[in-house]
């Protein structure tokens, strides 16, 4: 089912405000059976107060058992089926470093590698060359010019960089040039459909010229490209929900994901307090606010249970500044779980709390994984969260007579 066909058809305009507060990787695990999760351990009086007047449930990012990356995790929360809408690796990498891809652009992830005298790869990652050495090389690659195209090269980290090709008639169905082995030469870029041949030719021209430029380097005298991907075609929030949406994020990746669905990036917040300032300053200008809090994920990835608890407590302390603005709908959730026990993204349903005057409270007094199990939202696919938000905001008409 195309949920956006429904949200378009049933769209109602009003002056309600919706806030989507995303604590990245919010869901967790107890360290041992019978124990509490990070969220259940945290002292979070403000979120617990919301639980009393709200309804909670478990958001399934993709489908049971599937752990999403940041791309599908956020697309799901934004109401875009993460199976239907794919953000290719190259496009996600470009987005993640803040590069603003335009429609028609194709991005690829680049690796510096070491080639031997015969042109065969002796180290696929150029000895994990440090960023200080690789960044100037990536910037030097901007010297490669190919008539009719704009080509952007951005350093990422260590042996990694991004290259974005811009020009008419490019498409992303091109195979990796990394042979995933040493002792062999990099592969030629090869199109997997007719529409991508131009891109493959362009990539091969560019790689040849770039490799020539790197010839004198000791470690990084070659390169491979992986994950060719065009900018994904995502209908905008304005178009599918009739919402003027703002994103208040600190990290480029989340600003980039929000931009892909047509949100405007507002403010230059560096801290949660900054983000609240930006929210207040822009309250009248937008219908919808996506606020991204990164540190529940990064502490989970570090496997630091106590630090994740502290970050949840920090988030909790910001909640009164949101509720003081009296949004019609406030949702607190995550794009996926990142249990510190696993030190990684996971598939577990994400604790999700929705508050509105018509949300049908489910009688819980706290917000946590085990209360969501008995929550009024049940377990639901993340892609339905926006429909629920719109419904609670009075922004959806009745379906059928």
Residues at the site binding its own copies, with contacts judged by CB under 8 A: 1, 3, 6, 10, 29-30, 33-34, 37, 52-53, 58, 62-73, 82-83, 86-87, 89, 92-93, 339, 341-342, 344-349, 358, 360-363, 369-370, 373-380, 384, 386-392, 396-401
How many angstroms separate the CA atoms of 99 and 161, rounded? 12
How many angstroms separate the CA atoms of 170 and 112, rounded? 24
Closest separation in Å from C-beta 16 to its own copies: 14
Closest separation in Å from C-beta 199 to its own copies: 21
Please say which residue, 62 or 77, places its beta carbon nearer to its own copies.
62
Please say which residue, 291 or 390, places its beta carbon nearer to its own copies.
390
Closest separation in Å from C-beta 196 to its own copies: 21
346 conformational bin, left if phi > 0, alpha if psi -120 to 50, beta if neither: beta
Q: What sign does the dihedral 256-258-262-263 (CA atoms) show?
A: negative
Please say which residue, 108 or 278, places its beta carbon nearer to its own copies.
108
Question: CA distances (Å), 74 to each of 63, 70, 306, 338, in order?
Answer: 14, 6, 25, 14
Please say which residue, 211 or 352, places its beta carbon nearer to its own copies.
352
Closest separation in Å from C-beta 185 to its own copies: 27
Closest separation in Å from C-beta 3 to its own copies: 7
Please say which residue, 265 or 350, places its beta carbon nearer to its own copies.
350
Secondary element (H or E) of residue 91: helix 89-96
Residue of 309, 312, 261, 318 lying closest to 291 (CA atoms): 318
Closest separation in Å from C-beta 357 to its own copies: 8
Structure tokens at 146: 């190919």
Which residue has 């047509």 as its token pair? 262
Which residue has 């939202």 as its token pair? 377
Instruction: Give me the helix-helix angle, 252-260 and 70-77, nearest 10°.
Output: 50
Please say which residue, 44 or 383, places its beta carbon nearer to its own copies.
383
């Amino acid at each position: 089912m195309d949920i956006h066909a429904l949200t378009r058809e049933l769209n109602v305009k009003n002056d309600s405000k919706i806030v989507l507060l995303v604590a990245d990787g919010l869901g967790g695990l107890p360290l041992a059976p019978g124990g509490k999760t990070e969220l259940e351990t945290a002292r979070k009086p403000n979120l617990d107060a919301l639980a009393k007047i709200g309804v909670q449930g478990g958001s399934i990012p993709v489908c049971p058992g599937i752990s999403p990356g940041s791309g599908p995790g956020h697309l799901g929360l934004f109401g875009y089926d993460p199976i239907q809408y794919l953000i290719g690796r190259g496009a996600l990498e470009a987005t993640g470093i803040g590069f603003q891809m335009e429609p028609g652009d194709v991005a690829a992830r680049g690796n510096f590698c070491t080639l031997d005298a015969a042109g065969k790869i002796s180290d696929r990652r150029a000895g994990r060359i440090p960023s200080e050495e690789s960044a100037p090389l990536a910037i030097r690659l901007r010297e490669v010019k190919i008539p009719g195209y704009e080509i952007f090269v951005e350093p990422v980290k260590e042996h990694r960089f991004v290259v974005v090709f811009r020009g008419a008639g490019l498409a992303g169905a091109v195979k990796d040039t990394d042979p995933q082995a040493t002792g062999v030469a990099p592969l030629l870029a090869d199109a997997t459909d007719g529409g991508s041949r131009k891109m493959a030719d362009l990539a091969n021209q560019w790689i040849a010229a770039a490799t020539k430029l790197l010839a004198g380097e000791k470690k990084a005298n070659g390169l491979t490209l992986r994950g060719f991907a065009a900018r994904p075609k995502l209908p905008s929030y304005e178009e599918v929900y009739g919402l003027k949406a703002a994103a208040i994020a600190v990290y480029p990746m989340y600003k980039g994901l929000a931009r892909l669905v047509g949100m405007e990036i507002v403010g230059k917040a560096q801290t949660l307090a900054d983000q609240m300032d930006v929210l207040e300053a822009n309250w009248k200008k937008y219908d919808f606010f996506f606020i991204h809090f990164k540190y529940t994920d990064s502490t989970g990835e570090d496997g630091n249970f106590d630090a994740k608890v502290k970050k949840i407590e920090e988030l909790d302390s910001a909640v009164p500044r949101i509720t003081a603005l009296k949004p019609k709908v406030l949702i607190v959730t995550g794009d996926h779980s990142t249990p510190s026990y696993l030190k990684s993204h996971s598939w577990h349903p994400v604790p999700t709390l929705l508050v509105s005057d018509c949300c049908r409270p489910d009688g819980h007094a706290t917000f946590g994984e085990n209360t969501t199990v008995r929550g009024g939202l049940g377990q639901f696919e993340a892609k339905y969260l926006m429909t629920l938000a719109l419904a609670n905001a009075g922004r959806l008409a009745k379906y059928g007579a």
